[in-house]
Structure 1
Amino acid sequence: MAGAIVKYGIIGVGMMGREHLVNLYHLRTQGVAVVAIADPHLPSQQLALDLAHSFTWPLKVFSGHQELLDSGLCDVLVVSTPNMTHHRILMDIINHSKPHHVLVEKPLCTTISHCKEVVNAARKRPDILVQVGLEYRYMPPVAKLIEIVKGGNLGHVKMVAIREHRFPFLVKVNNWNRFNINSGGTLVEKCCHFFDLMRLFVGANPVRVMASGAIDVNHKDEVYDGKVPDIIDNAYVIVEFDNGSRGMLDLCMFAEGSKNEQEISVVGDIGKGEAFVPESVVQFGTREAGRDGVQTLKAEDHRIKYDGLHHGSSYLEHLNFLSAIRAKGEKAPSVDLQDGLISVAMGVAAQLSIEYGRFVSIQEVMNECKI
């Protein structure tokens, strides 16, 4: 595809699908074009068409993903449909006779068994690249902190603490995100991002998870088809890794009065680093230099042409994936299916830990043992 226009299709053009559409428009100088969308929801279709019209991009519209696949119009597909639909759509894409590279929104799937099915099917298709949309890795302050950690500036990482204090879940089409059965649960749906970052910072795999969480404030007065939402709105999660490191997540989704939505702290045996979003500030220092030696940096990435909803990370995610596609198999996606699987496993273990009031091991979750 080097030098040729790379033709994209977007499956699911709700809020996030349209965000991908705008990001890809800002990548048009890199030789990309969105040529088709698929979504059964007519209002979402129309909003996407209005956007594309403003870009002077003609779009072929399909009501379902299978029709888009069979059209043969696309080289790359972006899957940004509700979480519970990822498995079926991914399996249909991977098993289709025409190869399509895929960027799938997080979480990969809502269950371990479905994630495994996708991973195993993709292994049989070396002609297809699949990247998972864990785009927090690309946020400039987070990327800078990753660089500091990987450069050895903090020594051996021992502790990672991530605080997300934010607003409640947004309203989605048919309110699908109000129920665990659809989303996988808050700690899968929302927090797979942070479990992925923990694993990246410590350079190790999770062993067991302990969590405490509840529905304390949000959505308690909402009823959909006679059912009250069951998604938790706050939690503490502790993760132990196989190299002895530990991670901790502090999640609160009724904390609109926060200066920063995410605060990430990484502590090694010789130093500490912190990243703040959306302030886009990074601080780091060593034990030896102490408080007076702490450096403060403003994190920026001048490649970003569109900040969007995620501080430019979606733009960089697409830029990275396009590079892997154009490398024709010589470059793997930076966030692969194994990363997607393990981030979901950590979230599933956390959800189960809350339910059963004990540590849950990653092995028993991956083996799908009776808990």
Structure 2
Amino acid sequence: MKDTGLIQDTIRYGVIGCGMMGQEHLRNIALLPEAHVAAIYEPNPAMAKAAQAIAPGAKMCGSLADLLAHERLDCLLIASPNHVHVEQFLEVARTRPLPLLIEKPLYTDAADETALRRLQAGYPAPIWVAMEYRYMPPIMAFLDECEAATGGLKMLTIREHRFPFLNKVGAWNRFNRNTGGTLVEKCCHFFDLMRLVLKSDPVRVSASAGQEVNHRDERIDGATPDIWDSAYVIVDFASGARAMLELCMFAEGSRYQEELSATGPAGKIEALVPGPGRFWPARLGLAPVPQVIVSPRDPKGPRVVEIPFDPELLKAGDHNGSTYYQHRRFLDAVRGQGLPEVTLEDGMWAVRMGLAAQQAALTGETVRF
């Protein structure tokens, strides 16, 4: 690639936030020969030390302003806690609006959407909202075959049975005020997938959710966590299709963590996705292999396809290689060789649906868009 003064042969990232997810991004960027991390801003000393060990060539910056002043940057990644995403996004837009990959959820408070819409209208570079679940290999295969397998989707079910929220810096993820609530923090991925699969926008949301098992006996700075651990959410779409989410965060004994099922007049397709390999008990042998199952109505007879993960990508994070594939496509957008596949509008819809589900569960009333 010709040196334009903006983007070199090697794409140089500035990374904002290097907790658990930020470090996964660092490990995956390190697998890309055409990219490296040039600068990092991480205010927590322990997380900063861990980040520097993964990206030893990166300059460690004392503030976001210092990072944005670093001359040799081609793009930015925001992977900080949810409740500071918008504040940091606004500073980036004011100071140095480079191509941006910003982690989900895009925001946590409905009042932030006005500022984001202004950014959407005037930001001069690509913005990509990080929705890693789109890029898990079994889910990509599911997406590719969905229309043909179903003959036109009418029903979509997403089930996630997984482990509780992990321990993060300051336990920020234990409180709704920081996360937007479980149905925003955790489930915006699934609401994004619903819109992507059904190719339609929601018209109403109903939900039942609560904090049934996890974190009830914890005390953090004198406060009890209020984050939910289980939910059912039903979403009706403008197309007439329906979708349901079933979440349980005290089911880490499950063989598969995510199970997607789409049904239409021609048949059904399923994707079965195991959780992080590091959580699979060694005494049980090899971890489960992801599967995609196509079950036509006529002729009857399921077809099962195993989709093994690349072991090198599994070592780099907890999202089954999807973070790596996402960065590959993001780099195309940075180079001007493609458009963002997860737009700011997609990111806003995912949060909008999560906030509506939180409201529906709290009030017991259907929320309409």
Q: What's 1:37 paired with?
A: 40
Residue identity over aligned pairs, in percent, reads 43
Matched, 1:72 2:71: yes
Which of 310, 316, 325 pairs up with 1:316?
325
8 Å Cα contact 2:309/2:320 also seen in 1 = no
CA distance in 1, matches of 2:71, 2:185: 31
CA distance in 1, matches of 2:191, 2:220: 30
1:165-199, Cα deviation, whole Å (9 max, x unpaired): 00100001000000001000000000001111111
Q: CA deviation at 1:324?
A: 1.5
Q: CA deviation at 1:238?
A: 0.3
Q: What's 2:361 paired with?
A: 354
Q: What's 1:368 paired with?
A: none
Q: CA deviation at 1:153?
A: 2.7
CA distance in 1, matches of 2:331, 2:110: 28
8 Å Cα contact 1:273/1:285 also seen in 2 = yes
3-state SS of 2:166 partner = coil
Matched, 1:146 2:155: no
8 Å Cα contact 2:39/2:70 also seen in 1 = no
Which of 267, 271, 277 pairs up with 1:271?
267
Q: CA deviation at 1:256?
A: 1.4
Counterpart residue identity of residue 76, structure 2: L
8 Å Cα contact 1:167/1:256 also seen in 2 = yes
4+ aligned runs moved over 6 Å, structure 1? none
CA distance in 1, matches of 2:269, 2:37: 39
3-state SS of 1:37 partner = strand
Q: What's 2:112 paired with?
A: 114
Q: What's 2:175 paired with?
A: 179
Q: What's 1:91 paired with?
A: 90
Q: CA deviation at 1:119?
A: 3.5
CA distance in 2, matches of 1:214, 1:275: 27
CA 1:305–1:324 in 2, change beyond 3 Å: closer, same or farther? farther
Matched, 1:26 2:31: yes
CA distance in 2, matches of 1:229, 1:172: 13
CA distance in 2, matches of 1:268, 1:341: 28
Q: Please give the residue correspondences for 1:216-235 in structure 2 after superposition, counting only pairs within 5 Å.
A: 216-235=212-231
Q: Please give the residue correspondences for 1:193-208 in structure 2 after superposition, counting only pairs within 5 Å.
A: 193-208=189-204
CA RMSD of aligned residues (A): 1.5
Q: CA deviation at 1:200?
A: 1.1
**Alignment: residue pair count:** 348
Q: What's 2:164 paired with?
A: 168
Q: CA deviation at 1:213?
A: 0.8
8 Å Cα contact 1:116/1:341 also seen in 2 = no
Q: Please give the residue correspondences for 1:215-294 in structure 2 after superposition, counting only pairs within 5 Å.
A: 215-278=211-274, 279-290=289-300, 293-294=301-302
What TM-score, normalized by structure 1, do the two folds share?
0.91
Q: What's 2:80 paired with?
A: 81
What are structure 2's unaligned runs of at least 5 residues?
Answer: 3-7, 275-288
CA distance in 1, matches of 2:63, 2:239: 45
CA distance in 2, matches of 1:301, 1:338: 30
CA distance in 2, matches of 1:63, 1:171: 24
CA distance in 2, matches of 1:161, 1:99: 38
Q: CA deviation at 1:99?
A: 3.3
Q: CA deviation at 1:63?
A: 2.4
Q: CA deviation at 1:100?
A: 1.1
8 Å Cα contact 2:158/2:245 also seen in 1 = yes
3-state SS of 1:163 partner = strand
CA distance in 1, matches of 2:103, 2:63: 17
CA distance in 2, matches of 1:310, 1:140: 10
CA distance in 1, matches of 2:365, 2:120: 34
Q: CA deviation at 1:300?
A: 4.7
CA distance in 2, matches of 1:72, 1:95: 16
CA distance in 2, matches of 1:72, 1:122: 25
3-state SS of 1:95 partner = helix
CA distance in 1, matches of 2:357, 2:342: 22
8 Å Cα contact 2:136/2:320 also seen in 1 = yes
1:99-124, Cα deviation, whole Å (9 max, x unpaired): 31111111111123324422321321
3-state SS of 1:131 partner = strand
Which of 36, 49, 54 pairs up with 1:51?
54
CA distance in 1, matches of 2:313, 2:307: 16
3-state SS of 1:309 partner = coil
Counterpart residue identity of residue 340, structure 2: P
Counterpart residue identity of residue 294, structure 2: F
Q: CA deviation at 1:95?
A: 2.0
